[in-house]
């Protein structure tokens, strides 16, 4: 599947978190909020350069009955959540593809792209309603339920396609816990 993203160049004067072959990179993590009964919630987490306990969480919010919306949670404090979760390093991304947007420093949510990575994420449509009510009329057929995992898998594939993430990110997504 081909995703179309406007190309822009962004340069950053922020310090780096790692140096790989003389390219400054940022680590992008896969957050997994496990559940014994339901599919795990997946999100991307990118720690801030200035304070690694704060960062941005990029994901879709909603449910299979009503559909999902893309949400970029900025100034998110990962350690404050009471939900059990794990974080897996997903990819090293060139620093110029990621921008920290601090605003006034308080947590906020939007779906406005401020960097290349966010532009690609917005190019991948959030899943619509895919769970069919048992009382609905019409022919019965098996539905493919789409959720945050579906979207994040497609989003990572688009990031790989645009050269923002390495191909190895797809294998990490494929092997990530689903519950």
List, for residues 143-159, the tens digit of each pLDDT value: 678 999 999 999 999 99
Ordered by start, the domain boundaries in the chain are 18-133+140-175
Residue 162 CB neighbour total at 10 angstroms: 18
* Burial (Cβ within 10 Å: 0-12, 13-18, ≥19) of residue 170: middle
Please give the residue that has the higher pLDDT: either 113 or 131. Answer: 113
pLDDT at 137: 64
Look at residue 16 and tell me whether its pLDDT is greater than 50. Answer: no
Given a cut of 90, whether residue 83 has pLDDT beyond it is no
C-alpha radius of gyration, the chain, whole number: 17
> Looking at residue 21, what DSSP letter applies?
T
62: pLDDT strictly greater than 70? yes
How many degrees, rounded to 5, is the angle at CA 152 between CA 114 and CA 129? 105
- Does 14 have pLDDT greater than 60? no
Q: Answer whether residue 19 shows pLDDT above 80.
A: no
| Full-model pTM | 0.83
Q: For residue 45, what are its two tokens?
A: 């987490």
* pLDDT of 45: 98
Are 44 and 164 in contact, with CB atoms under 8 Å apart?
no
Q: Using CA atoms, how far apart are residues 116 and 147, in angstroms rounded to an integer? A: 23
pLDDT in tens, 22-46: 689 999 999 999 988 999 999 999 9
Give me the pLDDT at residue 23, please. Answer: 81
What phi and psi values does residue 121 have, to the nearest 5 degrees?
-60, -40
């Amino acid at each position: 599947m081909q995703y179309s993203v406007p190309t822009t160049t962004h340069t950053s004067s922020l310090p780096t978190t790692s140096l790989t072959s003389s390219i400054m990179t940022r680590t992008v993590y896969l957050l997994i909020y496990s559940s014994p009964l339901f599919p795990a919630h997946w999100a991307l987490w990118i720690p801030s350069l200035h304070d690694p306990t704060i960062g941005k969480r990029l994901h879709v919010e909603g449910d299979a009955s009503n559909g999902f919306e893309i949400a970029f949670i900025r100034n998110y404090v990962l350690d404050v959540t009471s939900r059990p979760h794990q974080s897996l390093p997903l990819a090293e991304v060139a620093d110029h593809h990621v921008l920290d947007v601090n605003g006034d420093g308080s947590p906020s949510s939007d779906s406005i792209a401020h960097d290349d990575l966010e532009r690609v994420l917005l190019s991948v449509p959030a899943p619509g309603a895919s769970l069919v009510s048992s009382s609905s009329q019409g022919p019965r057929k098996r539905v493919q339920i789409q959720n945050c995992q579906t979207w994040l898998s497609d989003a990572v594939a688009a990031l790989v396609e645009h050269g923002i993430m390495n191909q190895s990110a797809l294998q990490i997504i494929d092997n990530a816990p689903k519950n």
